[in-house]
């Protein structure tokens, strides 16, 4: 399927690994020009034939100067901006006991750069009648415990998605969010590797995912994000879409091994 992304210019924050790298790779495959804004270079560099369509901007996104610089360097290299993918963030475990200073720092790491990037890119996105895709998390709806800063940031990202969709609609700019749940990333793999029985730990999580009893892949997350960023979704805005195999919202009886034993009478 041709998503109409040939030579479109996309900025992706946190595009050096995990879901962000998956989004960068698929955008390049679809013919877009991509700017990756991150603290470190990508785990896998673009192939040589794509190098003229790729720009790495190194910086700490918790500073607004990095956000301003990223937009400026994008314009210097590619002259316009069609797509902004806000992806960078970290589940930093800042809970109630951490205190107000730590909470504020967590918001700086996980939320404020979403606003700053959209602020600095807004005029150029309007010129292009472009799109914004915000990557969120199911934690904003389910809670997790011990991660107030991250959960608050992700809840705010949902709200900003709807707010920006309203504000930018008159300019033809679409804004949507993609929310993962249990996605198999290198970070997740490392976390499970630290457990006494990584195989059993993975299997226990997979049993809770109704669709196919498996983790969501990076490629599946990237496919939804890139579709929403593209002209192929030209009349979709203000949507918050979960790519999670039903993990977040489906009835809990779907997570048991004997789901076939349940029917309408069990509701």
Residues labelled catalytic: 150
Task: Return d(Cα 161, Cα 176) in angstroms, integer.
Answer: 6
Taking CA atoms, 261 is separated from 228, 246, 264, in Å, by 37, 19, 10
Helix axes 112-128, 148-168, angle to 10 degrees: 20
Contacts of 77 (CB under 8 A, 6+ apart): 35, 55
Task: Return d(Cα 251, Cα 44) in angstroms, integer.
Answer: 39
Q: Dihedrals φ, ψ of 242, to 5°?
A: -90, 125
Q: What is the distance of C-alpha 181 from the center of its chain?
A: 11
Q: Dihedrals φ, ψ of 136, to 5°?
A: -110, -145
Task: Return d(Cα 92, Cα 110) in angstroms, integer.
Answer: 9
Sign of the alpha-carbon torsion through 193, 194, 195, 196: positive
Task: Return d(Cα 161, Cα 175) in angstroms, integer.
Answer: 6
CB 137 within 8 A of CB 150: yes
């Amino acid at each position: 399927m041709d998503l109409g992304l040939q030579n479109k210019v996309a900025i992706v924050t946190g595009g050096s690994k995990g879901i962000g790298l998956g989004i960068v790779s698929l955008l390049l495959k679809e013919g877009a020009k991509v700017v990756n804004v991150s603290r470190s270079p990508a785990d896998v560099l673009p192939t040589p034939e794509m190098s003229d369509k790729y720009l790495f901007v190194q910086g700490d996104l918790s500073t607004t100067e990095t956000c301003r610089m990223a937009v400026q360097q994008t314009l210097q290299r590619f002259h316009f901006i069609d797509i902004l993918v806000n992806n960078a963030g970290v589940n930093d475990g800042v809970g109630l006991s951490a205190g107000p200073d730590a909470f504020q720092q967590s918001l700086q790491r996980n939320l404020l750069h979403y606003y700053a990037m959209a602020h600095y890119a807004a005029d150029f996105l309007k010129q292009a009648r472009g799109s914004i895709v915000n990557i969120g998390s199911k934690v904003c709806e389910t809670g997790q415990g011990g991660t107030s800063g991250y959960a608050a940031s992700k809840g705010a990202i949902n709200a900003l998605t709807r707010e920006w969709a309203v504000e930018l609609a008159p300019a033809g700019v679409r804004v949507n969010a993609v929310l993962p749940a249990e996605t198999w990333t290198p970070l997740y793999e490392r976390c499970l590797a630290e457990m006494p029985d990584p195989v059993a730990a993975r299997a226990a999580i997979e049993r809770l995912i109704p669709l196919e009893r498996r983790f969501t892949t990076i490629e599946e997350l990237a496919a939804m994000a890139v579709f929403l960023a593209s002209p192929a979704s030209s009349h979709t805005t203000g949507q918050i879409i979960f790519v999670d195999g039903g993990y977040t919202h489906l009835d809990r009886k779907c997570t048991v091994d004997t789901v076939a034993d349940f029917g309408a009478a069990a509701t």
